[in-house]
Amino acid sequence: MPHSNLFPSAAPEHLLNRELSILGFQRRVLAQAADPRVPLLERLRYLCIVSSNLDEFFEIRMAGLKEQIKQGALLGNAAPAQRLYQQISQKIHSLVAEQYALLNDEILPALAAEGIVFLRRSLWTDAQREWVRQYFESEILPVITPVGLDPAHPFPRLLNKSLNFAVELEGKDAFGRNCKAAIVQAPRALPRVILLPAALTGVENGFVFLSSVLHAHVGELFEGMHVLGCYQFRVTRNSDLFVDEEEVKDLRKTLQGELHQRNFGGAVRLEVADTCTEQMRDFLLQQFDLDPEECYRVPGIVNMVRLMQVPDGVNRPDLKFPAFQPTVPKALAKRDELFATIRRQDLLLHHPFQSFAPVIDLLRAAADDPQVVAIRMTVYRTGTDSVLMENLLRAARKGKEVNVVVELMARFDEEANINWAARLEEAGAHVVYGVFGYKTHAKMLLIVRREEDANGRTGLRSYAHLGTGNYHPRTTRFYTDFGLLTANPAICDDVHQVFKQLTGLGQADTLKHIWQAPFSLQSGVIKAIQAEAEAARAGRKGHIVAKMNALLEPQTIQALYEASQAGVHIELIVRSACALRPGIPGLSENIRVRSIVGRFLEHSRVFYFHADGEEHVYLSSADWMDRNFFRRIEACFPILDPKLKRRVIREGLKPYLADNAQAWEMDGNGEYRRRSTRGLRRNAQESLLQDLGEPV
């Protein structure tokens, strides 16, 4: 569906660049790693998160920019994209330098002081060296394959983001070949960080890097030859999948064929150890067809993401965030029959402060309840090991009508979703893949149950769960999200209509309450913004508060600018990319933008409109982005219960507007300044943990 022409778009000069805004978010995450008030192992985790985020940034955003430059070169207008690429590249080089300086100069020494030591190869004792030798011979040597480079052995195809070693050699091998270089690929099954026995290190947590082990014994892979140098490196590749709508007959089969090729897309970044010689660096750049500025020399391991196993595996609660136990709403604590509880009242779940277990329990009850006749569910990201999917499988095996809309194009979750789709079909479920060209991103569960009413008449009643986040039990412990459990007939009927669109054919019905992308979500949002502007022009109060992950869509931004000019007070809580320029006189002086970066990933989408005192509150699976409005199937649903509406405002908005501990405020140029903690310290996530969670 093309962009709507009903609304004007913001002028290009009034919009900030998306890629630069995303990098600004990475800097805010890096600031968490630099903050001495953050527990030490969590600081290391934040460093790993920055690396993981940058990996995806290169795989998708930088890869896309390179394609734009390539296409622009054919049309003679590559310069703008080329300038942006160079600007972004400079910022990333600076960011990576700061990241490694923080790791080497602060975090690793601080960890060592706490008995979490990464043993340098040059300082190994004889006993440690012997243990490492035995480990190499028993665990590494049998699974590693060195590849000498000569006319019979061309440069190997290397997997995306895999750890590799470029080895410089001299001498002749057993066949008399004068080989000067070789590539050693580290199997992905090998741990990148290896724990040594405490008796050898004198500390509970003494580690060596896999790269150190290989460096120490690389000579054993090239018997009789002299190793001049060994340098770890990693290449990042374009990982975006392209599927031609006109060519596809079976989306699942097509994707299965494409997924393997993702690991061998065009190179976009080379990372090498800073000890690598210029000659070897240039050789690698030539192999991957990269320019020198696309090489990142790093003083340490080339894949910091793999350090994530340290905070995950080290048992030092004193160096991590305090553990907590998510709670459940009081209405569910009575242990009444779950369907009866939802019939009596809508229930709101606020994750991770409140447990995701009621959603799992609802699906489990539906699978086992003989009165349940049908279950419908959307699956975007659910993980490779999902209790939710197991319950769907059980329901299908019991003969219930199970319809599952599986989004096969959920980036980096395609393989898991393909596998779940196959298992569900084998169990007898009806599996569809939504609408080609539109990702199904809405989070919806609908359960249809045969029940008796108060007069003894038998009929069908529906129950729904709608959420802002994925049906992924693990991420509900780390992402902030809202979920609504309801038996409201009008809401459930809207959900039923959306499922009917996804699984069948026909025109879209007008929904009673839900704003649905790609049909009514953008227009619903803009009309609500315009209503606030009209109220302000008439001398009444106009107030908008919106919390989301990203704000990029130009027509929505223009509506916000016009509302600001009309006198509407607009408060935006945007975690990551934001193209709107706040605080510009005559344009947006009534708009402020803040970003919260804390212990949990802020993921909930909450939209508040004053509406002449009626206070309309919506929760949504969608950010205010082009892709969410026009290229995805999304659900934005109102909170109708007055008590729950007050809860969403009290928990989902007010603490974040008052936060002066984890909040960053944005200026009109897209730069962020951390709020200074003056007076009473207010941390939104900590206060919600105190109010809703339970300490362990």
Q: Over the stretch 109-149, which tens digit does the pLDDT of each residue have?
A: 999 999 999 999 999 999 999 999 999 999 999 999 888 88
Give me the pLDDT at residue 76, please. Answer: 76
260 pLDDT band (50/70/90 cuts)? low
**Structural tokens at position 532:** 């606030």
The yes-or-no verdict on residue 249 having pLDDT over 50 is no
pLDDT score, position 1: 44
453 compared with 450, residue with greater pLDDT: 450
**Mean pLDDT across 34-45:** 97
Residues of the binding site for Mg(2+): 381, 411
The predicted-structure confidence for 585-631, as pLDDT tens digits, reads as follows 999 999 999 999 999 999 999 999 999 999 999 999 999 999 999 99
Sole residue written with tokens 């193209």: 579
Query: Is residue 350 annotated as a catalytic residue, yes or no?
Result: no
**pLDDT at residue 174, as a whole number:** 60
pLDDT of residue 412: 62
Q: Which tops the pLDDT comparison, 264 or 217?
A: 217
Two structure tokens written together for 125: 């004792």
pLDDT digits (tens, 9 = 90+) for 166-184: 999 988 766 666 678 999 9
Quick check: helix, strand or coil at residue 614?
coil
So what's the pLDDT on residue 39? Answer: 98
Over residues 657-696, the pLDDT tens digits come to 999 999 999 999 999 999 877 778 899 999 999 999 887 6
Longest dimension (CA), the chain: 94
Q: Residues 478-505: what's their mean pLDDT?
A: 94
More confident residue, 528 or 244: 528
Cβ pair 362, 338 in contact under 8 A: yes
**Rg of the chain taking only CA atoms, in angstroms:** 27
Residue 223 has pLDDT above 60, yes or no: yes
Q: 14, 215, 350, 441: which is the annotated catalytic residue?
A: 441
User: Does residue 211 contact residue 200 with C-beta atoms inside 8 Å?
Assistant: no
Residues annotated in a binding site for ATP: 53, 479, 575, 603
Q: Average pLDDT for residues 540-557, to the nearest whole number?
A: 98
Structure tokens at 674: 């951390």
Domains and CATH numbers, the chain: 12-97 (1.20.58.310), 116-319 (3.30.1840.10), 324-512 (3.30.870.10), 516-695 (3.30.870.10)
400-418 per-position pLDDT tens digit: 999 999 887 666 677 788 8
Phi, psi of 209 (to 5 degrees): -80, 145
The whole-angstrom separation of Cα 258 and Cα 260 is 6
Exposed / middle / buried, residue 151 (Cβ in 10 Å: 0-12, 13-18, 19+): exposed
In terms of phi and psi (left: phi > 0; alpha: psi -120 to 50; beta: otherwise), the region of 171 is left
User: Rounded to 5 degrees, what angle do the CA atoms 470, 474, 478 make?
Assistant: 85
Average pLDDT, the chain: 91
Q: Which residue has the tokens 């724990």?
A: 195
Strands 443-452 and 439-440: unpaired
pLDDT at 244 over 50: no
Residue 261's pLDDT band, with cuts at 50, 70 and 90, is: low
Q: How confident is the model at residue 241 (pLDDT cuts 50, 70, 90)?
A: low
Asked whether the predicted pLDDT for residue 247 surpasses 50, the reply is no
On whether the CB atoms of residues 341 and 331 are closer than 8 A, the answer is: yes
